[in-house]
Structure formats: C-alpha cells, structure tokens
Amino acid sequence: MDFAEEMTAFTDWLETNPLEPSAQTLLVHLMVIANKSGYPEWFAVTNPLLQAKVGISENSLTKHRNTLIQKGRIEYKNQGKQQAGKYRLSFFTSNNAVKHEVKGAVKYEVKGAVKGSVLFKDLKDLNSSSASSSSSADGESEYESFYQAHRRVFGFECNPIQANKLGVYIDQDGLEEPVVIRAIERAGLATSRYSFGLITKILDDYFHAGANTLVAAIALDNAFDASQQSAAKVSKVKKAPAQTDKQARIAELKRRAEEARQLEESASH
C-alpha cells in the first residue's frame, strides 16, 4: 500500500464526496495509524486517543465515525467500554476506486469543497506545535479546532478529559467552536500561569449570558469592557498612569483567573 497514493486518491474522492473538516481529520488519523501499523485488516484505537487527536468530544467522534461508515470509508466494531474499538479501512487505491498516478511529492492543496479544512495542515505535521489559525493564499481562513487553538495559545495539547469537557460546551450547551477558542485565547491573555478552570469559567459566563455565537461573545466582552471603563471614570481613586482598554481587559481576566484558582483550591480540599 502506497500512503502517498492513498492520500492523493482521498483528495480526489473529496471533490465529489465532501466531508466536514473534523470527519476528514478523523479519517486521516485512522489512515496514518493504519500506515504505521503496517496496514492490518483490523486495528484497535481508543476513543479518548482519537478525541484528543482530532480535538472533538465523544459525541462528535460518534457522529463523524457514523458519517465515515455511511460513506463506506470505514467499518467499526464496538468492543465495549473496557476495550478499544476496532476499525477496518476501505482503501481507495486497492480496489481501484480512484486511479491516480503520483509524480513527485504529494501536493497539499486545498481545492473545491475541501477549502478551509485542517486535513492538509495535519498531514504536513501531525505533531506540530504551531498549528495556529491562518489564512490561505486566496484569503480564506483555515479551520482551526479548539484542540489546535489550545496548543497554539499554551504550547501544549489539552488532555482527553479536558478535550471532552470543552466538547460538551459545543455538543450539549450549543456554543459555537469559535466561542470556545475565544475563551482559550482570553484565558491565555489573562495570566502566565495555565488555568483550565479559567477557560471553563469564561465559557460558563458566555453560556449563562446566552452568548452561543462568536459575534455574541465578542459583544458580551465589549459590553463588559465598556462597563468597566465607565466604572473607572466615575471612581474617585485615580490610577497613575490611567489604564488603557487593553490593560483593563487584562486586569479583569486576571481577576477571573484568581477566582478560578480559588475554586480549584477549594475543590482540592
């Protein structure tokens, strides 16, 4: 089995069989695992591992896995909660589903319906620590999962338990993924000390305020910042020098970080 030929055939197949970005990434990781294992007929992979690699919750994993099954790309055997599920891939080149001659290196190019996916960025370096959100040559923003955003902001990956908790905000609470990413970014700005509790506190604030979309989250933050600025103006306490808007936002985020730290300490006792 030639991995480069498989990936080229996969990109050709996507032109007429579009998949959501996370479903594409899930299939890519399964193909990479199969390649590293020597292409066995069946191979086992745990749900938490796939969730961490793709940056999705367990519910999203089930959804995208079912999509791949319906598309005829994989077969899956549930081994119960105590054992890893087993996968079998339906390869593109072995059954002549797609014929494509590969010349030179594989071109990681986004075309047609797959523009903006993380597929080619993941192929370039599955373990890269610089998977930041960027813009493509034609000006379109590439998709970035909250898992990748966490790695971009803090320099390391969130663990499967954290990924599942963040996924709940999307799958159960109805927050858009960019809202989760915004909370990660604001938590990173607030303090040099990592606090997962601060991320969830900011997300809780968004959820309780009904800020499920990125636009609503930005509006909520702006409204809060404006109220802080108004309070500062009427305050009799003079600050020298006066805080800038950015400093005020950072101060508030630090306050949230301290509250989250105190909550974490209380929970540990």
pLDDT tens-place string over residues 32-73 = 888 888 889 999 988 888 988 888 888 889 999 999 999 999
Higher pLDDT, 31 or 133: 31
Q: What percent of the chain has pLDDT over 90?
A: 19
Measured distance CA(188)–CA(126) in Å, rounded: 23
Q: How far apart are CA 214 and CA 183, in angstroms?
A: 10
User: Are 174 and 212 spatial neighbours (Cβ–Cβ below 8 Å)?
Assistant: yes
Query: How far does Cα 48 stand from its chain's mean position?
Result: 14
CA-to-CA distance for 10 and 17, rounded, in angstroms? 10
Q: Has residue 165 been placed in a domain?
A: no
**76 is a domain residue:** yes
Cα–Cα distance, 178 to 190 (Å, whole number): 18
Of the candidates 115, 260, 135, 108, the one whose C-alpha atom is nearest the C-alpha of residue 197 is 260
Q: How many whole angstroms separate alpha carbon 181 and alpha carbon 145? A: 8
Q: Is residue 153 part of a domain?
A: no
Phi first, then psi, for residue 112 (nearest 5°) are 50, -125
Residue 23 φ/ψ, nearest 5 degrees: -70, -40
CATH at 69: 1.10.10.10
Q: What tens digit of pLDDT does each residue of 98-118 get? A: 333 333 333 333 333 333 333
- What is the Cα–Cα distance from 134 to 142, expressed in whole angstroms? 6
List, in sequence order, the alpha helices (H) in 75-176. 119-124, 146-154, 160-171
The answer to whether residue 267 scores a pLDDT higher than 50 is yes
Residue 138 is given by DSSP the state T
Residue 208 lies in a domain: yes
For the record, the structure tokens of 191 come out as 């303090």
69-85 tens-digit pLDDT: 999 999 999 888 778 88
State which of 162-171, 207-216, 223-232 shows the largest mean pLDDT. Answer: 207-216
**197 in any annotated domain:** yes
Domain with 73 in it: 3-102+111-116
Show the beta-strand stretches assigned E in 39-130: 43-45, 74-77, 85-89
Residue 129's pLDDT is: 34
Residue 58 domain-assigned (yes or no): yes
- Residue 238 DSSP label: P
Domain count, the chain: 2
Q: Given this model, what pLDDT does residue 231 score? A: 65
137 occurs within a structural domain: no
Quick one: pLDDT at residue 32? 87
Q: Note whether 7 and 98 are same-domain residues.
A: yes
CA pair distance 17, 240, nearest whole angstrom: 61
| pLDDT grade for 161, boundaries at 50, 70 and 90 | confident
Q: Is residue 155 part of a domain?
A: no
Over 60: is that where the pLDDT of 236 sits? Answer: no
| Residues forming a β-bridge with 89 | 74
Provide the whole-model pTM.
0.45
Question: Which pLDDT score is estimated for 86?
Answer: 92
The more confidently predicted of residues 253 and 13 is: 13
